[in-house]
Chains A and B, each alone.
Chain A
Amino acid sequence: MSALLAVEHLSVAYGRVEAVSDVSLSVAPGEIVTVIGANGAGKSTLLNAAMGLLPARGRVVFDGSDIGSVEAEDRVALGLCLVAEKRELFGAMTVEDNLILGAFRTGRSLAAETLAEVFARFPRLRERRAQLAGTLSGGERQMLAMGRALMSRPRLLMLDEPSLGLAPKVVADIFAIIRDLRATGVAILLVEQNARAALNAADRAYVMELGRIGLEGPASELASDPRIAESYLGLGG
């Protein structure tokens, strides 16, 4: 099966420090893939480079074509969307305006339809539609960021630490939504420090250490791998 997203030998450097070294990974259509690893392993850098926000060496192939020279703004129009770690919401605008802007590249008629779908998936956002995004709680902000991304009707959704800083109950909600999204056919590339939850939700997983991919395999196998258990699941000695 041809991959929806294929990252090949990608390297990203901040000045002379290489944060991501020769990383290759792929995501098939409709698949949930996770990249787990410690803080500072280069996971966010990887996603930002795949989105086109950071200059990188290597190839990024989306749906069969090399998108290395495509600006991030135009990758959105192709169906690639990133929910950034900092959420990057428009704090001084209403929830509804944030969502409408998410559909900036899809056209007006589709936007109204998608907005109804997003409100159905996140009833909380419908309740808060007139509220300023900057006044939302952490969980609501994450929901808004995901909702805004879905407004662009992505084929691949990249989520950067969606559980970061959220209460356990909210984390469970977010992961339930991620599993739920699979049914709509959207592929997901999930970067997480919360390895247990990520491996539970994903089909396949990559383990990143110091900018490189260490291990990869089906998520269920990695979840029972003793090396993973020790380093990332907090079960070891």
Chain B
Amino acid sequence: MDSTILLFLLQDGLTNGAIYALLGLALVLVFAVTRVIFVPQGEFVAYGGLTFALLEAGKLPGTAYMVVAFGAAAFAMELVSRRRELAARLVAREAAFKLGLPLAILFLAKAVVAAQPGAVVNLVLTIAIVAPIGPYLYRVAFQPIADASVLVLLITAVGVHLAMTGIGLVFFGAEGLRAPPISSAVLPVGPIVVTGQNLGIYAITAALIVALYLFFGRTITGKALRATAINRIGARLVGIRLALSGRIAFTLAAVIGAVSGVLIVPMTTLYYDTGFLVGLKGFVAAIIGGLVSYPLTAAAALLVGVVEAFASFHASDWKEVIVFTLLLPVLLIRSWTDPHSDEEE
């Protein structure tokens, strides 16, 4: 292998690794706040990527209707679970957020499709369409069992993943889609070329990580989310509603998934079920980070991306096997070095 191939594989790996880093961070975030191992994270990638590809092709994506359906389901759940305290104000507020908002998004999407304003607006619209699915999903599937064990939440997450894959098939169909690159710029660096798409991925990943860092470090909402992750009883004692923390965490997960999808759909053809495998790579990184450490997860994600790139060059049939085998030594070392501890104070 010469140095050009080496550099090329490295670049390829870092590009994929950046995406895995975003997904790994979302998994750590959701687990820390809600204790849900968020298997369906990859579905948001598929939804986001396919939504963006359809918008770029000038078509109205099925997710615009899907978000209305999710909102209606969440609205119904809310009314049933709070049937004893139904007041006009509560119903109006819930209707605004769970029915009005998705309908507004649907009409906005129709207007945007008619106007064809370009990639940046399509990116923003993709986020606006996919993001509310996160909190609606939390309301429907996870909030009713928020106090259940991690295992029960995991089983639910697998169920949600299967359901969302099926829903994806209904709304997008079985055909794969690809979008044109965000930028067609090409930048030669030594023997290799860096594309505008690569630079976009690095820039957006870095910007999202910085934004998350500021959100958790500087804002009261971000601090409340961290507090929920550190000590759930303590959080309740200062008046932080766990359901609110859960909704915010799921919103962030949906946004991160949607952005990841937009970033990869110009590089690879996405199908309704592609997200799962992409999400799993993020999961490998999150596990290496112990499902608690954000920096370790991001670093591990880059490693996963690079290992995957080299594996696909040397033994492409074994690429996934090699990537997932990374987990074994990590889990062994973890189980040797950290004796199992139950939830501490």
Residues of A within 8 A of B (CB): 51, 53, 69, 71-74, 76-77, 81-82, 84, 86-93, 97, 100-102, 104-105, 108, 148-149, 151-152
Contacts and interface: CB of A to CB of B under 8 A. Distances in A.
Nearest to B230: A90
A93 B224 contact: no
B241 A71 contact: yes
A93 B227 contact: yes
A170 B242 CA distance: 34
B237 A69 contact: no
B345 A101 contact: no
B238 A104 contact: yes
8 contacts: A72-B236, A76-B237, A90-B230, A91-B230, A91-B231, A102-B238, A105-B239, A151-B238
Contacts of B238: 76, 101-102, 104-105, 148, 151-152
Contacts of A77: 239
Given A69-B84, A89-B231, A93-B230, A101 B240 contact: yes
B307 to A, nearest CB: 31
Contact of B240 (A53, A73, A89, A93): A73
Nearest to B240: A104
Interface in B211-245: 220, 223-224, 226-227, 230-231, 233-242
Given A69-B85, A100-B220, A104-B220, A90 B239 contact: no
Q: List the 10 closest A-B pairs by CB distance, nearest first.
A: A76-B239, A88-B234, A105-B239, A90-B230, A73-B241, A90-B227, A88-B233, A72-B236, A104-B239, A104-B238
Contacts of A51: 237
B181 to A, nearest CB: 41
Given A100-B220, A101-B223, A84 B237 contact: yes
Contacts of A73: 236, 239-242
Name B's interface SS.
helix
Interface residues of B, number: 20
Nearest to B242: A73
A91 B233 CA distance: 13
Contacts of B220: 100-101, 104, 108
B248 to A, nearest CB: 13
B45 to A, nearest CB: 30
Contacts of B236: 53, 71-73
Given A73-B240, A90-B231, A101-B220, 12 more contacts: A69-B84, A69-B85, A73-B239, A74-B241, A84-B233, A84-B234, A101-B235, A101-B238, A101-B240, A104-B224, A148-B238, A149-B237
A73 B146 CA distance: 15
Contacts of A151: 238
B239 A88 contact: no
B345 to A, nearest CB: 6
Interface in B303-345: 345
A92 B230 contact: yes
A125 B223 CA distance: 19
B303 to A, nearest CB: 25
B226 A93 contact: yes
A77 B146 CA distance: 22
Interface string B31-49: 0000000000000000000
A171 B227 CA distance: 28
A77 B240 CA distance: 10
A51 B237 CA distance: 9
Contacts of B239: 73-74, 76-77, 104-105, 152
A194 to B, nearest CB: 21
A71 to B, nearest CB: 7
A125 to B, nearest CB: 16
Contacts of B231: 88-91
Nearest to A102: B238
Contacts of B233: 53, 84, 86, 88
Nearest to B292: A92
A85 to B, nearest CB: 11
Contacts of A71: 236, 241
